[in-house]
Amino acid sequence: MEGSLDLELIEFLQEKARLIRRDIITMIGKAGSGHPGGSLSGVEIVTALYFHLMRVDPQNPDWPDRDRFILSKGHAAPLLYAALARRGYFPPEELLTLRKLGSRLQGHPDCKSLPGVEMSTGSLGQGLAVANGLALAARLDGRDFRIYVLLGDGELQEGMVWEAAMAASHYKLDRITAFVDHNHLQIDGRVEEIMSPEPLPDKFRAFGWEVLAIDGHDFRQIIQAVHHAWETKGRPTVIIAETVKGKGVSFMEDQVGWHGVAPKPEEVERALAELDVRQP
């Protein structure tokens, strides 16, 4: 399989990614608030997980043996919601209720309201420890599901991430695969300038993790990296995915201003027009 992933699969995933990007722009535009930049940067990672790599059943979201995905960077909720809707957990029309009073699509994910959301997140730094707990529970029960976590690069500034990184390695939680959505931007500016988490690979390696660095927009690399994680025994794997914040919408790409600002109607139209012709 490695190196020879068929073109059909890649094209299928690219089309899903395009739809998910459209959804992200549309729903945040409609909501009038939200986080487009960090939602768009993680699209290929989440698309590859939900449409190819993870063992899930949208008709049976509580299936005990399903793989789990925890969006530790909870502000990318539109990305998760779009992926869940396109995967069949709920009708895509519901995406338009994002952030509205009474909606199941809360500003940050609420696992009690929406099927498919594994954990409520939003306060940064907490997803990895929760993944650790899930992995320990699975080990006690002899279940073989895997747990994927999406971390932001700015999020790595939270000390709790490193508490959890230490614990995952200590308990040899090899069912955990963490992605770092390394888009290099956070609210106040460039991650490296605000509070540099570099050198990231060395840090994770020093904490006992298997470390891979990839292009986070390349499906082949994402899939191969996850396959590598599946083969890795006795330690967790982190995939440091080099990404572009706002990826796929030219005027949002690598722009710090698009972290938490909704596009205006005319910007929504421009973005969708681009997404309809341009392969990200």
Complex with another protein: residue 137 or 195, whichever CB lies closer: 137
Say whether residue 210 binds another protein (CB under 8 A): no
Complex with another protein: residue 116 or 246, whichever CB lies closer: 116
Q: Distance between CA 52 and CA 131 in Å, rounded?
A: 21
- SS percent in the chain: helix, strand, coil, step 5: 50, 10, 40
- Locate all alpha helices (DSSP H) within the chain, ordered by sequence: 7-31, 36-41, 43-48, 77-87, 127-141, 159-170, 191-195, 200-206, 219-231, 265-277
**Cβ–Cβ < 8 Å for 68, 145:** yes
Complex with another protein: residue 65 or 198, whichever CB lies closer: 65
Q: Tell which positions 62-91 bind another protein, by CB under 8 A.
A: 64
Choosing from 23, 44, 67, 118, the residue that interacts with another protein (CB under 8 A) is 118
Say whether residue 172 binds another protein (CB under 8 A): no
- Cβ–Cβ contacts within 10 Å for residue 140, how many? 8
Complex with another protein: residue 134 or 268, whichever CB lies closer: 134
- Binding span for another protein by CB under 8 A among 128-136, 194-202, 244-252, 261-269: 128-136
**Among 260, 213, 211, which residue's Cα sits nearest to residue 232?**
211
Choosing from 7, 101, 140, 277, the residue that interacts with another protein (CB under 8 A) is 140
Residues that bind another protein (CB under 8 A): 64, 110-112, 118-123, 125-126, 128-138, 140-141, 159-160, 163-164, 166-167, 170-171
